[in-house]
Amino acid sequence: MIRLVEREKARPAARPRLNESSVEVVLLLVALTSTTVLALIAIFIFAEGLPIIGKIGVREFLFGLHWAPTAGSFGIWPMIVGSVAVTAGALAVGVPLGLAVAIFLTEFAPASAAAAMRPCIQLLAGIPSVVYGFWGLIVIVPAIRNTFGGPGLSILAGSIILGIMILPTIISISEDALRALPPAFKEGSLALGATHWQTIWRLLLPAARSGILTAIILGLGRAVGETMAVIMVLGNAVEVPTSLLAPARTLTTSIGIEMGYASGEHRQALFATGVVLFVIIMLVNMAANLAIGRRDSL
């Protein structure tokens, strides 16, 4: 504080002061940037993608089984099924594992272990998705091929890689939710003779459920939106997958693979795929907001 006073004195007295109200206006405009960008994204993706959906028809576009862009056939149902399957698989891998790690960090880990583990989780979040994809291609895909047969490039491989990639999201948000619970919950339960695990399973997890739900929803959003890692391990076949070991293509990978060379209606159809993806993500965001709102009102 003293430093502040001295610095103030050191400045020439006649220095013109910034007009406070203009500062406020500028800051308000700056603060609106992210919302403006979001609006621009929506406008430009929709402007580019909606016309072709209108031309093909919503039903034919969403539920059409054939994607043959060079032949003018644009149905994205195989990609929708692919996205749903891989996302469900990622949640099946990532949610139990992530929740267990969150429970470990809040309930079981010695303080030093928890402190050492946190930067590791952060690092897991920082590894680029291409690296995950490459590692999946080199390690996971051959492992699946050797164990179960088939090409290895599969929904299973995508689910494992995405399951790992959403771990940091699931862990950090569930951990926050578990930590936010009043200690009295746990003390009361233990005082009544419940074991530590009974307390966790029957009391702490249910009490933190809206936070855990938020974690799952945000993890889901990440899994739906991930592109580069999935491109490398999924096989990218345009057909409705019939098993965990079948190759598939998601909405994101379809855009990622074909944008490089698409033009005309083909490119528009990829933007239309982007429209579908954008709508899904906004719904996921809203669901997450609802879950967070419920937590705040608790």
Partner 1 sequence: MIELGRRRTQGIARAMVWGAALLTLAVLFLIIAHILIEGLPYVTPEFLLGSPRHMGREGGILPTIIGTAALTAVAILIATPLGVGTAIYLTEYTREGRLTRFIRFGTESLAGVPSIIFGLFGFVFFVIALGLGWSILSGGLTLAAMILPTIIRTSEEAIRAVPKVYRDVSFSLGATRWQTVTRAVLPTALPGIATGVILGVGRSVGETAAVILTAGSSLHVPTSLFSPTRTMAVHFYILAREGISLEMAYATGAVLILAVLAINVLANEALRRLAARAR
Q: Is 41 in the site for partner 1 (CB under 8 A)?
A: yes
Among 12, 16, 20, 297, binds partner 1 (CB under 8 A): 20
Q: 167-179 vs 111-126: helix axis angle to the nearest 10?
A: 140
Q: Is 27 in the site for partner 1 (CB under 8 A)?
A: yes
Q: Is 263 in the site for partner 1 (CB under 8 A)?
A: no
What single string gives the DSSP state of each residue in the chain?
Answer: -HHHHHHHHHS-TTPPPPPHHHHHHHHHHHHTHHHHHHHHHHHHHHHHHHHHHHHH-HHHHHH---EEGGGTEE--HHHHHHHHHHHHHHHHHHHHHHHHHHHIIIIIS-HHHHHHHHHHHHHHHHS-HHHHHHHIIIIIHHHHHHHH-S-S-SHHHHHHHHHHHTHHHHHHHHHHHHHTS-HHHHHHHHHTT--HHHIIIIIIHHHTHHHHHHHHHHHHHHHHH--HHHHHHHB---S---STTS-B--HHHHHHHHTTT--HHHHHHHHHHHHHHHHHHHHHHHHHHHHHHHHHH-
Q: Is 105 in the site for partner 1 (CB under 8 A)?
A: yes
* Nearest residue (CB) to partner 1, 210 versus 227: 227
* Nearest residue (CB) to partner 1, 84 versus 259: 259
Q: Is 225 in the site for partner 1 (CB under 8 A)?
A: yes
* Nearest residue (CB) to partner 1, 26 versus 68: 26
For residue 24, the minimal CB distance to partner 1 (Å) is 6
Among 68, 92, 115, 282, binds partner 1 (CB under 8 A): 282
Q: Is 30 in the site for partner 1 (CB under 8 A)?
A: yes
Binding mask 158-177 for partner 1 (x = CB under 8 A): ------x--x---x------
For residue 71, the minimal CB distance to partner 1 (Å) is 23
* Nearest residue (CB) to partner 1, 189 versus 242: 189
For residue 14, the minimal CB distance to partner 1 (Å) is 16
Among 54, 128, 142, 188, binds partner 1 (CB under 8 A): 128
* Nearest residue (CB) to partner 1, 62 versus 127: 127
Q: Is 31 in the site for partner 1 (CB under 8 A)?
A: yes
